[in-house]
């Protein structure tokens, strides 16, 4: 939403907070969407004073039927940042506190059978070729999810990558201004690289589509949105026999699974994990090795029990399809 589209009495402060965050180097994309919703909430509730009370925020702080405790906490946290910003500007407001009464969910480490089931369901969800946009997006999803698994990248780093940052000759993805304002390069496995090359030829030569994004969305001027990837993952996961598992996975769990796979492989090769951690940290785009060790501690139970995970790669990266047929 453009700042001129915000209409509540708090709009100037929302704009000011976002400008400050952006100037400090924070993307603040999902938080901006939450603040846009809060702008609508203020209009709906008829807020006509800068004095924001606890009573006024009580409706905003309630958990909705469609969200979990984590998302509720994030939504409240965004408004808390706004209240702190307004307070620093000399406005008398209530600052929410003590609202995060939830535990961070443990990561879901996919095992081989789950991954094979997921990619079979994904590949089997192919729409008719005459539905050109839907068929194109399906082919994009196949590569996007395989990249998450094989490269351990974040959601937006894959779905939102620009065409100019994909080197199909060298097999390198360049991630620009990722989390922590860090740039890095990621090498594609050879079999996945061949799929990338085949997809690119089909997109540009077969469909005659030119876009600044390697994975264009429904609108060629924009990349596939993160929210769409999350939604597609949920639909495909529900088609697997494991949809009812107690620890429901997310797209980000492909990244955790990548870490477990890599650590298991190194352990099987007799390598010192502590010595290898800086390499893994750099590959993942972490600012320090502490962040990578945090991943390790989150997945340490799976690390102890999961063995030889890399042996399933051939089952989820099939031979490259001839898209032109």
* Per-domain boundaries in the chain: 3-88, 112-316
Extract the tokens encoding 226: 């993160």
Report whether 160 contacts 185 (CB < 8 A): no
Q: Which CATH superfamily is domain 112-316 in?
A: Intergrase catalytic core (1.10.443.10)
Enumerate residues 6+ apart whose C-beta is below 8 A from 246.
Answer: none
Between the alpha carbon of residue 103 and those of residues 70, 71, 110, 150, the distances in Å are 8, 12, 21, 29
Q: Compute the distance between CA of residue 152 and CA of residue 164 in angstroms, rounded to an integer.
A: 21
Question: pLDDT 10s per residue in the chain (325 long)?
Answer: 777 789 999 999 999 999 988 877 677 888 999 999 999 999 999 999 999 999 999 999 998 877 777 788 888 989 999 998 898 888 889 988 766 554 556 788 898 999 999 999 999 999 988 899 999 999 999 999 999 999 999 888 999 999 999 999 999 999 987 665 568 899 999 999 999 999 999 999 999 998 999 999 999 999 999 899 999 999 999 999 999 888 889 999 999 888 888 887 887 788 877 788 788 888 888 776 666 766 666 555 555 544 443 344 444 444 444 444 3
- Residue 296, phi then psi, degrees to nearest 5: -60, -45
Q: What is the DSSP string of 267-320?
A: HHTT--HHHHHHHHHHHHT-SSHHHHHHHHHHHHHHHHH---GGGGHHHHS-PP
Pairing of strands 166-167, 182-187: unpaired
Q: Which residues pair with 186 in a beta bridge?
A: 173
pLDDT at site 190: 94
Q: Compute the distance between CA of residue 190 and CA of residue 165 in angstroms, rounded to an integer.
A: 18
Q: Compute the distance between CA of residue 298 and CA of residue 24 in angstroms, rounded to an integer.
A: 29
Report whether 185 contacts 195 (CB < 8 A): no
Extract the tokens encoding 177: 């201004």
Provide the 8-state DSSP code for 27: -
Q: Compute the distance between CA of residue 281 and CA of residue 263 in angstroms, rounded to an integer.
A: 12
Place of tokens 């509730």: 45
pLDDT at site 317: 44
Q: Compute the distance between CA of residue 148 and CA of residue 231 in angstroms, rounded to an integer.
A: 15
Extract the tokens encoding 189: 């496995």
């Amino acid at each position: 939403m453009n700042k001129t589209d915000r209409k509540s009495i708090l709009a100037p402060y929302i704009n000011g907070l976002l400008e400050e965050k952006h100037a400090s180097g924070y993307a603040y994309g999902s938080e901006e969407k939450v603040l846009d919703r809060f702008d609508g909430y203020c209009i709906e509730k008829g807020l006509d004073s800068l004095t924001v009370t606890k009573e006024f925020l009580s409706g905003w702080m309630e958990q909705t039927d469609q969200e979990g405790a984590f998302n509720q906490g994030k939504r409240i946290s965004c408004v808390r940042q706004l209240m702190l910003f307004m307070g620093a500007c000399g406005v008398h407001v209530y600052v929410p506190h003590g609202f995060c009464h939830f535990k961070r969910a443990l990561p879901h480490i996919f095992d081989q059978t789950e991954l094979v089931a997921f990619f079979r369901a994904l590949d089997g969800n192919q729409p008719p070729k005459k539905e050109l946009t839907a068929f194109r997006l399906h082919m994009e999803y196949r590569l996007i999810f395989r990249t998450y698994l094989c490269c351990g990248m974040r959601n937006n780093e894959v779905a939102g990558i620009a065409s100019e940052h994909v080197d199909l000759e060298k097999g390198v993805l360049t991630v620009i201004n990722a989390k922590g304002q860090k740039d890095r390069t990621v090498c594609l496995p050879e079999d996945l690289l061949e799929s990338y090359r085949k997809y690119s030829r089909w997109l540009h030569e077969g469909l005659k589509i030119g876009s600044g994004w390697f994975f264009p969305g429904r609108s060629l001027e924009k990349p596939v949105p993160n929210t769409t990837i999350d939604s597609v993952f949920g639909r495909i996961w529900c088609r697997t026999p494991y949809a009812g598992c107690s620890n429901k996975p997310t797209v980000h769990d492909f990244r955790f699974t990548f870490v477990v796979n890599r650590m298991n492989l190194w352990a099987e090769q007799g390598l010192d994990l502590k010595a290898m951690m800086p390499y893994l940290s750099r590959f993942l785009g972490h600012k320090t090795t502490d962040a990578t060790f945090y991943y390790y501690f989150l997945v340490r139970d799976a690390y102890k029990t999961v063995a030889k995970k890399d042996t399933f790669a051939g089952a989820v990266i099939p031979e490259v399809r001839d898209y032109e047929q």
